[in-house]
Amino acid sequence: MIDSELLEYLESFLTPRRSALYKKVVEQRTNHFTVAIEDVYQLHNTSAVIRSCDVFGIQNVHVVEEVNKKRIDREIAMGAQKWVDVNRYATTRACITALKTKGYQIVATTPDENAEVLQDFDPSIPSAFFFGQEQEGLSDDVFHAADVKLHIPMVGFTESLNISVCAAIVLQSVTYQLRNSAIAWQLSDEEKRIKRMDWAKKMIKKHKEIIERYHQER
């Protein structure tokens, strides 16, 4: 449980502009949708997807590193890793199990034209969108577990999109639908306080000393 008075005290060490920005951004965050990235080979693609998650308000990203173990490219992510929670898994099955336990349906993105069209996607169900390797796509584990298979309609000679482009298109579409619906998609009040506390700590270098002084003065 976050101490609201402590949170306000800690945020008083931020500039008024930054404090207001945190409060504004957290109102647009959601856990109704989440993203999973499966063994992406190109590091900049993983980082770019994380950046898109931040842009479109997705709070949690799940990274499977069963084959390719990589660090996040800070330059490409442009600081997004500070604001988005990155959850790592050693296997795809572990990731799927964790997401299903949290109540998410598994959505496998695919170029298959027989899959559901992005524009027809139903945003009412909490969903985890899986994006796969650049060349091979998603694994059989994901497709076997998938509740929905989803594709972006294309009319050119190119049969597929770069993973980071695909993720951006999908997230823009589904979050637009979500925010224009009657679905309760926002974080709970406690989740909002948790994120504001987390963000404040990341920006205040001596936050531990400040928090200790706060408790001493109480």
Domain boundaries, the chain: 1-16+191-218, 33-184
What is the average pLDDT across 6-24? 95
Residue of 123, 124, 110, 122 whose CA lies nearest to 152: 110
Q: What is the model's pLDDT at position 40?
A: 76
Q: What is the model's pLDDT at position 78?
A: 59
The residue written with tokens 């308000």 in the block is 57
Does domain 33-184 match CATH 1.10.760.10?
no
What is the Cα–Cα distance from 61 to 42, expressed in whole angstroms? 17
Confidence grade of residue 42 (pLDDT, cut at 50, 70, 90): confident
What is the average pLDDT across 142-164? 89
What is the Cα–Cα distance from 27 to 188, expressed in whole angstroms? 10
Per DSSP, what are the bridge partners of residue 61?
A: 35, 86
Residue 44, pLDDT above cutoff 90: no
Alpha carbon separation from 76 to 33, 143, 172 (Å, rounded): 23, 29, 19
What is the average pLDDT across 14-23? 96
| Helical H segments across the chain, by residue range | 4-11, 16-26, 43-55, 74-77, 80-83, 92-101, 140-145, 163-179, 189-203, 207-217
Q: What is the mean pLDDT of the chain?
A: 91
What is the average pLDDT across 60-80? 70
pLDDT per residue over 185-207, tens digit each?
999 999 999 999 999 999 999 99
Per DSSP, 215 falls in state: H
What is the average pLDDT across 121-126? 97
What is the average pLDDT across 141-156? 94
Q: Global pTM?
A: 0.92
